[in-house]
Structure 1
Amino acid sequence: MSALNTSAPHSLRLEPVTAYNFDAVCAIQVRPEQAHLVSPVVKSLAEAYVHTTAAWPRAIVDGDEVVGFAMAFHDFVWDPAVDPDHRRSGLWRLNIDARHQGKGYGRFAVRAVTEEIRARGTDHAYVSWHTGAHSPEPFYLGLGFLPTGELSGDQRVARLALN
């Protein structure tokens, strides 16, 4: 596994998606065998536009290069039909460009997002994933997420304690 770029202090960071980095963010492509597991960035940005109070889209940037995309959600009503007061925060989407996978960018993004969620006063972070071939399940389990037994559509839901 390659180390993260450490050539410049604080070179790895999450940045808001802006007019300046929009094209680079939209150009992010996961590996072909992963394409059925995660929505394209442009769909995520459309969802962020629709869910402006809950979605938190960010470019993952190393130095001057956009290497991925993460979108978190905060205080999102989980299932209003069952319990309109049941709110959750977590990682909604993670896309690491195929050229940059295996370098620690995904781990960095999950940690940065969960730190932001913790800073916003939440003690658990949620994520969901598709199971099967090329699933990110081992990645999320390795970061400490534990399945809740719930499904979100056809995706397994997991939770990480942040305390």
Structure 2
Amino acid sequence: MEITLRAIDADNWHACVKLTVSEEQKQNVADNGISLAQAAYEKQWYPHGVYADDMLVGFLMFGTDPETKRVELCRYMIDKQYQGKGYGKAALAKLYDLIKIRYGPITFYTSIVPENHAAKKLYEDAGFSMTGEVMWEELVMVKQL
């Protein structure tokens, strides 16, 4: 399967808000509908669907945080029925390519809820490392692109 990232728009937003994570993951991941509303009003955020061929399997959102001025991945999820298939790591590789095109070689950030061990492993496997910083009660991670 080919993994692609596609901007969320009038054609796919409804499918995006239907994506879900397991009950135990819900405390670690923002609701996609809230993220899309945020992107509608805060224009520095760019929401994208993660597709495996033509099937929407996940969601991510990146942009420049107005407080820190850092380019960051602020939302990331793979639907519960598609987890464990390698889509998450493959989508991060596609995101890195997109970030390099949009911003050039930069320092790229994300953060995780401390208890989200699966996200920590995914991000570390994809090249992120811990900074030791805590923001918004989350652990900050960084990757040089």
With the length of structure 1 as denominator, give the TM-score of the two structures. 0.81
Work out the CA distance in 2 between the residues paired with 1:69 and 1:157. 20
Deviation at 1:50, TM superposition (A): 2.1
- Deviation by residue 1:25-80 (Cα, 9 ceiling, x = unmatched): 1100011111100111001111111221x21100111222111101111x43333x
**Hey, what does 1:155 align to over in structure 2?**
138
**Hey, what does 2:125 align to over in structure 1?**
142
**Hey, what does 1:60 align to over in structure 2?**
50
Label 1:126 to 1:64 Cα distance change in 2 as closer, same or farther (>3 A): same
What one-letter code is carried by the residue in structure 1 that aligns with 2:89? Answer: R
Deviation at 1:133, TM superposition (A): 5.5
Q: Does 1:77 align with 2:59?
A: no
Unaligned runs of 5+ in 2: none
**Hey, what does 2:81 align to over in structure 1?**
99
**Hey, what does 2:38 align to over in structure 1?**
47
**Hey, what does 1:83 align to over in structure 2?**
none
CA RMSD in angstroms, aligned pairs only: 1.6
Unaligned runs of 5+ in 1: 6-10, 80-86
Quick check: which has more Rg, 1 or 2?
1
Work out the CA distance in 2 between the residues paired with 1:103 and 1:33. 19
- Deviation by residue 1:80-135 (Cα, 9 ceiling, x = unmatched): xxxxxxx2112111110000001111112211222222222242110100012655
SS in 2 for 1:126: strand
Identity percentage of aligned residues: 30
2:12 to 21, 30, 36: 21
1:130 to 93, 105, 113: 113
Work out the CA distance in 2 between the residues paired with 1:63 and 1:113. 16
2:16 and 2:58 in contact (8 A); partners too = yes
Label 1:19 to 1:156 Cα distance change in 2 as closer, same or farther (>3 A): same
Work out the CA distance in 1 between the residues paired with 2:128 and 2:53. 29
